[in-house]
Amino acid sequence: MKEKIVNFFIDIRKEMEKVTWPSKEELTESTKIVIIITLAIAAFAWVVDFAVSGMLNAIL
């Protein structure tokens, strides 16, 4: 059992050496894109919520 656990962590280390990590610039650019898209979706959801609430208040 102990050997399996040790081999598991050895395999993890080998796989982590194969990973291509993003540069600081790539990471910064990706983060900006995620934040902008998140804000856009939040704004869209707010507009839809505001519109639907207004329509429901007008009906009721």
- Quote the mean pLDDT of the chain: 96
User: What pLDDT is stored for residue 56 in this prediction?
Assistant: 94
As a whole number, mean pLDDT of residues 34-58 equals: 97
Residue-wise pLDDT for 9-35, tens only, equals: 999 999 999 999 999 999 999 999 999
Of all residues in the chain, the percent with pLDDT exceeding 90 is 93
- Domain boundary assignment for the chain: 22-60
As a whole number of angstroms, the distance between CA 35 and CA 41 comes to: 10
- pTM of model > 0.75: no
User: What pLDDT is stored for residue 60 in this prediction?
Assistant: 83
As a whole number of angstroms, the distance between CA 55 and CA 9 comes to: 58
Task: Answer for the pair 43, 51: CB distance below 8 angstroms, yes or no.
Answer: no
**Which value, in Å, is the radius of gyration of the alpha carbons in the chain?**
24
